[in-house]
Chain A
Amino acid sequence: MTMKLDKEHKERIDRYFDEISADELYSVLTEKYHFESKDNDMVIVNNGKYLCREDMMPAFWEGTMSYANLDIKLEIEVVQMDLWGNKSDIQKEEFVCDKSCSIPLAS
């Protein structure tokens, strides 16, 4: 027995978010309810879209994303350079997969 997301609740919530502007909502959340801003995690990509940097990078490094299916390739390249920019001493060989490892790290 608990409150449910019924039609009435859904309509009330939808109406609130329809009527408030994004800027006003941000002020309400951060100033009135003290939500902590995480703006630094966001990166701007093509066509004014925004992505969370930490959400984007693991998929890229795991090879589940490729340039072919991205409309954000320019930004991905910039992020890649940021990560590797000061690490020229790291050799590629360090990342060779040990296939004797029993943990299925890569397949």
Chain B
Amino acid sequence: MNIKLDGYHGTEMKRVDSILTNGFVPSIGDKEWLGDGTYFFVKGINERPEIQAGKWAIISAWNNKEKKNDYDEYAVLHGVIEVDENKYLDLTEPDGVEVLDYIQEKYTSKLATIGKKVDPLDGYLINFARGEKLVDIEVVKGNFYIKLRKEDRMLRLSRRTPNCTICSVYSPKNNIKDVRVISTGRIDDEIG
């Protein structure tokens, strides 16, 4: 059975044409979240993922090193994420967490026999599980705390209680359909 999710992706305006023409390019290196892939805000712990995607696009514009915005205009794209339920790891559900727990238990037990220990960040673990073909994952969903306000980032505010539900899609060309722009805006207008 196929699962369908409405996914929202915030990005800079100049990337929109390329995304609509050539599709999304997966990010490599988001290992602290859900591993490599294209990220979408989805409904879950928050009912307005499209708003969160917009906020993400706005705060992501800020380049703290250069002390200026990298882009002035942003867009929020909507796409339908479609995936076979057997290739969908939902880490907001007990069954999904059990899969990841089992893999973690196996590798930590094995490493303990030689006195080794590694840091089990979610993204690392998911990349490992996929890369070594322990499980055939196309889409992962999880709840995270993401700083969505400028103040949260400036003051480095963080907490453990999640505020967003996000999905990582590893092969956007296979699993994302009907991509369209649902809103646009200027960064200056939003940040003030």
Contacts and interface: CB of A to CB of B under 8 A. Distances in A.
Chain A partners chain B = yes
A4 B93 CA distance: 10
Size band of the interface chain A makes with B: 20 to 34
Contacts of B116: 22, 26, 37, 39, 42
Nearest to B85: A1
A13 B98 contact: no
Contacts of A41: 117
Contacts of B124: 29, 33-35
Contacts of A33: 124, 127-128, 131
Interface residues of B, number: 39
Contact of B88 (A1, A50, A52): A1
Interface of A: 1-5, 9-10, 12-14, 16-17, 20, 22-23, 25-26, 28-30, 32-39, 41-42, 44, 50, 52
Contacts of A50: 112, 115
Interface of B: 1, 3, 31, 85-90, 93, 95-96, 98-99, 102-103, 106-107, 110-121, 124, 127-128, 131-135, 137
B107 A5 contact: no
A22 B134 contact: no
Given A3-B89, A34-B124, A39 B115 contact: yes
A3 B107 contact: no
